[in-house]
């Protein structure tokens, strides 16, 4: 297996050429990691990266580590963290070390390691590889916009680099807030040796003097990731392509610390059908959504393994263990794969049909939705609305469905035209996306606000939403239902309803126009 070492630091005639190089054989145990940031729903992109890291580790008989990158205090939250762990475990991507299972290099949660980062930042400061920056966010903002206006590359201008030690001391004595930035060579090139792409050259002049330690004392990704990968003995950093341009910063940090650089490998990014980076606005990205839709973890993880990778024999259906057994980084293709839900669904069908006995199928159905937890959330909503248990079917069908298969006519409404309904859907969709926490209160607030904005009584305004979300105006209460269904499913249903009405434009008024 590979182990990469930092190579030459040839600073010849003011031309810094720093290069990471992957050296040959090494006896080190392969250790990989996935390092999600707990700032939202568990993302399929996280699972995809985790999968490749998992396979590299398992194939080599090494270890796979889960680390939580929660240094963004404002955006990180424990619910998201819990959901990420649960989702990855659901997919079968078991980790050897992590926040919940522990391990010899813990804690595996960066917010618990601030002291460590501070120590290393202090070391860089002491050695002159980093400096305190007292510039205010306002100044930086002005600087950036001025640079943009002038058509210059935005970046820190190095002002605080010129502070004399005495000046810096005075500012500190006055407890002026500061951040720690890294020093970056101003010329020369950095060579990033990517396992997949080979040699990538990036000029130092394009690398900003990144903040390493934020004003709140938390490290940025760049510092934390390097320090932790070193301390956790990570040998292969396998992450998304989006990180290529910051690789020089990381290589430089390893260099400053005198540490070997792990092997670097940048995976192609999962894409929306329009080829942009996979995003929830255009596609369901939450693993929770796929679980709720009734995809099997085996199928989802299998499909993710079809993204950018293929089995040597071309077989498309395989287990995680089979993939890990045959895994070879070299078989990764570099074009960004479009996440195609149709093919995922086909694959899921195969898993369902070909791999489950009737007993197992029944068990899966129970686990999926006919479980006590889910039922107990629905029962309070339906009990008062039925006089026969058999009325449960139609009343709760939408809780057990994916796509609702609606007809534009279902939305016909005496008080709201199709046009207004479309606008309402669009506005609410945007409002719901903004929500930090998905619960009844927050959902209620969004809908009420929109109803006001459209100058409708809430009950009138809500009618098309009942149809879009529950398939009918005869239904359990909307806000509760939406909370239970979850954000992704609601988003998908509303978006689909919107598309349905938009493409079926000629409603009642101008049917003859074209």
Partner RNA sequence: GGCGCUAUCGUCUAGGGGUUAGGACGUGAGAUUCUCAAUCUCAAAACCCGGGUUCGAUUCCCGGUAGCGCUACCA
- Name which position in 314, 376, 384, 390 contacts RNA (CB under 7 A): 314
Size of site (CB under 7 A) for RNA: 72
3-state secondary structure 420-457: HHHHHHHHHHHHHHHCCCCCHHHHHHHHHHHHHHCCCC
Nearest CA to 186 out of 163, 161, 169 is that of 161
Catalytic one of 249, 275, 280, 415: 280
Q: Which stretch binds RNA (CB under 7 A): 122-130, 192-200, 367-375, 435-443?
A: 192-200
Smallest gap, in angstroms, from Cβ of residue 481 to RNA?
A: 28
Under 8 Å between Cβ of 388 and 487: no
Q: Which residues ranging from 244 to 303 are in contact with RNA (CB under 7 A)?
A: 244-246, 268-269, 271, 273-277
Task: Determine the 3-state secondary structure of 193 from DSSP.
Answer: strand
| CA separation for the pair 326, 52 (Å, rounded) | 12
Smallest gap, in angstroms, from Cβ of residue 271 to RNA?
A: 6
Q: Which is nearer to RNA, 72 or 96 (CB)?
A: 72
| CA separation for the pair 64, 373 (Å, rounded) | 32
Task: Determine the 3-state secondary structure of 17 from DSSP.
Answer: strand
- Name which position in 6, 35, 91, 462 contacts RNA (CB under 7 A): 35
Q: Please list the helix, strand and coil fractions of the chain in percent, rounded to the nearest 5, in that order.
A: 50, 15, 35
Q: Which stretch binds RNA (CB under 7 A): 31-39, 251-259, 358-366, 501-509?
A: 31-39
Does 179 bind RNA (CB under 7 A)? Our answer is yes
Nearest CA to 215 out of 154, 145, 160, 135 is that of 135
Smallest gap, in angstroms, from Cβ of residue 120 to RNA?
A: 15
- Name which position in 201, 363, 391, 433 contacts RNA (CB under 7 A): 201
Smallest gap, in angstroms, from Cβ of residue 456 to RNA?
A: 36
Nearest CA to 241 out of 194, 284, 177 is that of 194
Paired tokens of 29: 């145990």
| CA separation for the pair 252, 18 (Å, rounded) | 7
| Contact characters 317-356, RNA, x per CB under 7 A | --------------x-xxxxxx-x-xx--x--xx--x---
Q: Which residues ranging from 95 to 134 are in contact with RNA (CB under 7 A)?
A: none
Smallest gap, in angstroms, from Cβ of residue 270 to RNA?
A: 9
Smallest gap, in angstroms, from Cβ of residue 222 to RNA?
A: 7
Q: Which stretch binds RNA (CB under 7 A): 137-145, 166-174, 396-404, 486-494?
A: 137-145
Q: Which residues ranging from 211 to 250 are in contact with RNA (CB under 7 A)?
A: 211, 214-216, 218-221, 241-246
Q: Which residues ranging from 433 to 492 are in contact with RNA (CB under 7 A)?
A: none
Under 8 Å between Cβ of 275 and 338: yes
Smallest gap, in angstroms, from Cβ of residue 100 to RNA?
A: 18
How far, rounded to the nearest angstrom, does the alpha carbon of residue 417 sit from its chain's CA centroid?
38
Does 157 bind RNA (CB under 7 A)? Our answer is no
- Is 280 a residue of the active site? yes
Q: Which is nearer to RNA, 22 or 450 (CB)?
A: 22
Under 8 Å between Cβ of 396 and 472: no
| CA separation for the pair 256, 130 (Å, rounded) | 10
- Name which position in 105, 197, 230, 423 contacts RNA (CB under 7 A): 197
Active site residues: 280
């Amino acid at each position: 297996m590979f182990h990469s070492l930092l190579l030459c630091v040839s600073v010849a005639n003011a031309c810094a050429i720093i290069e990471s190089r992957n050296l040959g054989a090494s006896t080190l145990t392969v250790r990989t990691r996935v390092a999600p940031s707990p700032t939202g729903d568990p993302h399929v992109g996280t699972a995809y990266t985790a999968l490749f890291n998992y396979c590299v580790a398992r194939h080599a008989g090494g270890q796979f580590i889960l680390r939580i990158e929660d240094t963004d205090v404002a955006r990180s939250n424990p619910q998201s963290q819990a959901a990420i762990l649960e989702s990855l475990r659901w997919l079968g991507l078991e980790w050897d070390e992590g926040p919940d299972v522990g391990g010899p290099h813990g804690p595996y949660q960066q917010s618990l390691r601030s002291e460590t980062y501070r120590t290393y930042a202090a070391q860089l400061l002491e050695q002159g590889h980093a400096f305190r920056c007292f510039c205010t966010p306002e100044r930086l903002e002005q600087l950036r916009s001025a640079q943009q206006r002038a058509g210059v590359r935005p970046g820190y201008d190095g002002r605080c680099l010129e502070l004399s030690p005495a000046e810096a001391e005075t500012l500190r004595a006055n407890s002026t807030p500061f951040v720690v930035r890294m020093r970056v060579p101003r010329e020369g090139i950095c060579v990033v040796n990517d396992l997949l792409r080979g040699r990538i050259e990036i000029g130092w002049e394009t690398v900003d003097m990144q903040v390493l330690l934020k004003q709140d004392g938390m490290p940025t990704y760049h510092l934390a990731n390097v320090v932790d990968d070193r301390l956790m003995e990570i040998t292969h950093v396998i992450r998304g392509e989006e990180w290529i341009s910051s690789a020089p910063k990381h290589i430089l940090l390893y260099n400053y610390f005198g540490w070997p650089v792990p092997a670097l490998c940048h995976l192609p990014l999962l894409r929306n059908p329009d080829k942009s980076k996979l995003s929830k606005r255009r596609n369901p990205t939450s693993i929770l959504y796929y679980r709720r839709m009734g995809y099997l973890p085996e199928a989802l993880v299998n499909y993710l393994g079809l993204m950018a990778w293929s089995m040597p024999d071309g077989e498309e259906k395989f287990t995680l263990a089979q993939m890990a057994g045959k895994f070879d980084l070299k078989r990764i293709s570099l074009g960004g794969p479009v996440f195609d839900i149709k093919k995922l669904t086909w694959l899921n069908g195969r898993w369902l049909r070909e791999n489950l006995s009737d007993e197992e199928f029944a068990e899966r159905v129970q686990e999926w939705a006919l479980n006590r937890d889910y039922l107990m959330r629905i029962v309070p909503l339906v009990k008062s609305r039925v006089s026969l248990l058999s009325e449960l079917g139609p009343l709760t069908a939408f809780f057990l469905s994916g796509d609702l298969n609606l007809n534009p006519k279902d939305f016909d409404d005496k008080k709201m035209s199709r046009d207004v309904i479309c606008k309402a859907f669009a506005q609410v969709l945007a409002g719901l996306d903004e929500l930090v926490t998905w619960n009844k209160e927050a959902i209620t607030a969004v809908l009420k606000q929109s109803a006001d904005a459209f100058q409708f009584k809430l009950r009138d305004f809500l009618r098309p939403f009942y149809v879009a979300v529950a398939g009918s105006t005869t239904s359990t209460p909307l806000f509760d239902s939406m909370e239970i269904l979850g954000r992704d499913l609601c988003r998908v249903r509303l978006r689909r309803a919107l598309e349905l009405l938009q493409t079926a434009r000629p409603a009642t008024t101008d049917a003859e126009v074209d």
